[in-house]
Structures are given as structure tokens and as C-alpha cells.
Amino acid sequence: MKPDFSKELLTTVVVDAKTKDVLMVAWMNEESYNRTLKSGQTWFWSRSRKELWHKGETSGNFQDVVELILDCDLDTLLIKVNPHGPACHTGHRSCFFQNVEQEGK
């Protein structure tokens, strides 16, 4: 199966292949998807900078792709990776570390 790029960008969920922890969520366009397939490491599309980025290029925290899985609509991608370090630009292992305050709890 191949992703449906008719909406241009795919929501991409990145998880640690060993621990199954969600590391980050990013966007992929067709070019970043193809670069990911060719290189075996994650590439994404930055909506804010409007450019491709190779995860780890600046930080050294590359992500080696283990498996790519599409959802039933072919417009969301789950990527299992072996990370070389923290996924978050803040230095946290995962981008998901901030609890939401809920009323009454």
C-alpha cells in the first residue's frame, strides 16, 4: 500500500520500536516520505519553516526506521523507529511529557 497524498500532508506518529512509547508527531509530504524510504531514517515537512528536515541532522538524534504502517484511510502514518537519542527538541525522550490540568482532578 502507498499513502494518499491528495491532501498533501500526512499526520505521522513516531513510536519507539522497542518500548512502544510515542515519541513525536510530525508531518510528511510525498518528498519526505520518499526520502525516508530511501535513507532508512525519518524525514519530515516543517509547516512553520516550509522546508524538509532530516530528524537528527542538527542534534544527532537520528531515527532509524524499523517499520512503516498506514491507517485504513491511507492518510496517517505510524513509524516504528530505533531512536539515537531524545525525540523532543527540549531534550526530553518524547515530545509528550506535559500533563493537562483537568478540572475536578
Q: Give the residue numbers of the binding site.
A: 71-73, 75, 88, 95
> What residues does each domain of the chain span?
10-83
CB 14 within 8 A of CB 42: yes
In CATH, 10-83 is 3.40.50.1400: no
Query: What value does the CA radius of gyration of the chain take, rounded to a whole number of Å?
Result: 14
pLDDT value of position 104: 77
Q: Give the residue numbers of the binding site for Mg(2+).
A: 71, 73, 75
Q: Give the residue numbers of the binding site for Zn(2+).
A: 72, 88, 95
How far is CA 6 from its chain centroid? 19
Give the global pTM.
Answer: 0.92
Q: Mean pLDDT across the chain, nearest whole number?
A: 95
Task: For 19-56, write each residue's pLDDT tens digit.
Answer: 999 999 999 999 999 999 999 999 999 999 999 999 99
By three-state DSSP, how is residue 84 classified? Answer: coil
In the predicted structure, residue 105 carries a pLDDT above the cut 90: no
In the predicted structure, residue 103 carries a pLDDT above the cut 90: no
